[in-house]
Structure 1
């Protein structure tokens, strides 16, 4: 008979692990064990896992527990997280497996009895394609920047499920992430990821993108991220955190076709100045999605937002025309503002005309490893 599970650890270390694993747990579940966290022990210490069947987060804590080889036990995720969050800092927390499916949690003068479920009920994420096909590593901070640069463009429209995530693929030794909702598109390119050559293009679900982004934000600046990709699963591992996720089973659009590669009309502008101007003229509108009309001239950009019920807002700013003719075009003010928030310094915009998509790109600096491209579809004004 296996000895009962016991653990004594600092509240902060245990809370950090529980909080990270809890991110993969759905608040509402029809399967009881999915509302729980799995606690396992091995020679290297305690691991804490959470899952929703599509993605699983596992945190290796290094916290010593007994016995060192335990089949595991599951505890209520939300309840355990809330208790640890409310326990005073600096406390020692003890978890002790009792009889009749109970886990006792004590800290100072606080004592809680938590109902448990057997680890045997815990689901496993299976990789149906067999061996993982592609493995590569890169700086965690760079991949975090690649996700942060595109995730705002992920579609939330469930009928177009293949757009509900970030498309990751390899091309010519470069790793590329892309997101689009059909109205705007964002692409990040990182050159020099040779080990990713031959990787199949995969669509990472939005929930997984969020979990990975949070894990990378908490990682040290010099952390390395290991990525493993197969046809139906992707795994991210950095430090003590491992996130394994199913992929979206669908075909991502042939996105290069909508990125204007040429365009007879091209301007250079200051990103911060344009963002502030768009924010000011949009004040007149109660609808964040109302179009902002932009008149791109030789050295001046005129911005106008019209609200039939309140009036209009107008502003002009300096720009530099690099090629082409004047263009009047409209964009969704909210989408334009969100895109500009992901750029700094100076940028260029290229467009064929008022009815064509516009390509925005920060002026690339030699020290910048990631090259960003954004596309906005026009609106009638």
Structure 2
């Protein structure tokens, strides 16, 4: 086969791969074989017109590199072709030698191509390094390196402006959320020059804050750990220009200032947000910002925290005919703040009271705001002046505070009838006028000593208050290890002048109430304390719009408790004789000196039933703890444990005691009817408000 035939075959092979002379016109190589091949291809195919020259630019070099790789593959196929021809012509030594020489020549050409490939690769790496060097140079000169990437999503902003945008959403985000890491994220949304930040909490709600940026390029949505970005910008205070870029290819938020750069990983999970359709307002009320701030400050200290009665873990906000009320209670104390409402459909510029639509006049409605929202709302209200709007929807309250919007969850449930409790204390006959500042200072001195000298947690914070016509004495209980006494001048403004009232009061509750009243009262410091007896609530009032009610502590029960725990009531022998007795703390909070032999006085089956209920209850609690720690709720296990508990309580105990379980249940219903004559009231569930004598009579009569 002559050279022309081989070249024709080579041409066909190259054309099959899409390679022609025009594609190879810019291949740079010293090999004469490549030059000859290009010329031959041009002469045979006639598809190339022009002269061969190396590529002058970077992109051209890349095209040459790819073309050389294709040519290398083509030469490999040629070698295979030559080998097959050699097998066919092995009987012709001369032809075989000629083909072998051509193969060696092609091998040399391939080696040259490999060297050329390495050279082009090195040039490409060098060009990449030069690009990075030029970017660094631009940074050094104070320029914007994102100009190298025209499609980058980025913006400029000062550190202080960024903090103003992200601070409010970061307040609601809880750190260390092991189960839901997505709730630790802050979501940044850029649309045009407008930047918004979103923080979410399942139990509380969400906060959205808005601001304006500079040199924005493209829209973006990026979620990053709130702690990381908040800490970073707090340490950048004073920086006038901070560049923020979203690198979607690497899932990073890149923050640059000066010569410094920080890469924060993006969260790719979906952030749970409240659906816009759920925020459709049924009605709206406009408030002065400072008024609602003072209202929450007055009442929130009385709200329950982690109370099993979930509806008490919040502040009750209500429209009651023509007044706006804010109420908080944990069952032991209650704070109330009222304000007149202006009902009108006319726009109002400067307002001093809440303004509601005229259609709401004379109506009554209320919602329970979670206590976790209140500190956040207080900070936002403290930073705002003027008016703001609250939108009431089915399940949310939306506070529109200028550039910040707080969407709060609402607590489902019926709030206690606070009007009934407030109505009871309105009949208190003994009223005293006291200087709030003097009383607060006295409690601040006495409370630490009362707590330090208490012999039981149940006696903590309890002080004895002795009211006379012109003096108030505050002292620690008689059995406290530390004695203290404060005497204050007061004025009796109503009641019997000669009566003396001695009452137990939780000093911590009273101190918190005084602090909130003083902060609310501005300049005036005189308060009114109204009481009736040792069981009716104590009313602390300032004016007609706000008051606190604190339930008294039974000094008789306290005396009995302290007497039981008093070191003098336990002999040295009883304390140290571990063989015959042991000290145990009962569920009533009292310490009991139990002789081990006394267990024999208890019917073994009743003891068995009692301990069985205890152990099965512990198993139920363990299953719930496992669920709280992240495991799925095991209903099969819970059903088993409840079944075991019922066997002990409805099987073993009735059999051992001779009291049918049906009678036990009926008697309990009668007892509850004594405790709640009309309906359930949380206020009546506390021991100090129960008629324990009548309840006991009901139990005795039912069991007979």
Same fold (TM over 0.5): yes
TM-score by length of 2: 0.50
Paired residue secondary structure (1:22)? helix
Paired residue secondary structure (1:342)? helix
Instruction: Tell whether 2:428 aligns with 1:254.
Output: no
Instruction: Tell whether 2:170 aligns with 1:22.
Output: yes
| 1:133-161 deviation digits (Å, cap 9, x = unpaired) | 12011110110111111111111133121
Residue matched to 1:292:
463
- For 1:154 and 1:324, the matched residues in 2 are separated by 31
Residues 55 and 307 (structure 1), Cα distance of their counterparts in 2 relative to 1, 3 Å cut: farther
Residue matched to 2:239:
90
Residues 294 and 32 (structure 1), Cα distance of their counterparts in 2 relative to 1, 3 Å cut: closer
Q: CA deviation at 1:200?
A: 3.1
Q: CA deviation at 1:87?
A: 1.8
Residue matched to 2:553:
379
- For 2:489 and 2:439, the matched residues in 1 are separated by 9
Please, which runs of 5 or more residues in structure 1 have no aligned partner? 365-370
- For 1:127 and 1:292, the matched residues in 2 are separated by 51
8 Å CA contact 1:289–1:333 kept in 2: the answer is no
Residue matched to 1:356:
536
| 1:320-364 deviation digits (Å, cap 9, x = unpaired) | 112223321110111111111112311111122111101110135
Please, which runs of 5 or more residues in structure 2 have no aligned partner? 1-149, 344-355, 519-524, 556-704
Structure showing the higher helix proportion among its residues? 2
Q: CA deviation at 1:214?
A: 1.1
Residues 79 and 332 (structure 1), Cα distance of their counterparts in 2 relative to 1, 3 Å cut: same
Q: CA RMSD in A?
A: 2.2
Residues 130 and 18 (structure 1), Cα distance of their counterparts in 2 relative to 1, 3 Å cut: closer
- Candidates 338, 341, 348, aligned match of 1:189: 338
- For 2:157 and 2:207, the matched residues in 1 are separated by 21
| 1:81-127 deviation digits (Å, cap 9, x = unpaired) | 11111124234211101122111011223211111134x81222137
Paired residue secondary structure (2:483)? strand
- For 2:428 and 2:462, the matched residues in 1 are separated by 22
Residues 133-212 of structure 1 aligned to structure 2 (within 5 Å): 133-194=282-343, 195=356, 197=360, 198=363, 200-212=365-377
- For 2:374 and 2:509, the matched residues in 1 are separated by 20
- For 2:342 and 2:214, the matched residues in 1 are separated by 37
Residue matched to 2:157:
9
Residue matched to 1:266:
431
8 Å CA contact 1:56–1:244 kept in 2: the answer is yes
Paired residue secondary structure (2:511)? helix
Residue matched to 2:224:
75
- For 1:309 and 1:352, the matched residues in 2 are separated by 26
Structure showing the higher strand proportion among its residues? 1
Q: CA deviation at 1:299?
A: 1.3
8 Å CA contact 2:528–2:542 kept in 1: the answer is yes
Instruction: Tell whether 2:259 aligns with 1:109.
Output: yes
Answer with 1 or 2: which has the greater Rg.
2
8 Å CA contact 2:160–2:237 kept in 1: the answer is no
Paired residue secondary structure (2:281)? coil
8 Å CA contact 2:279–2:396 kept in 1: the answer is no
Q: CA deviation at 1:269?
A: 1.1
Paired residue secondary structure (1:158)? coil
TM-score by length of 1: 0.90
Paired residue secondary structure (2:365)? coil
- For 2:402 and 2:542, the matched residues in 1 are separated by 32
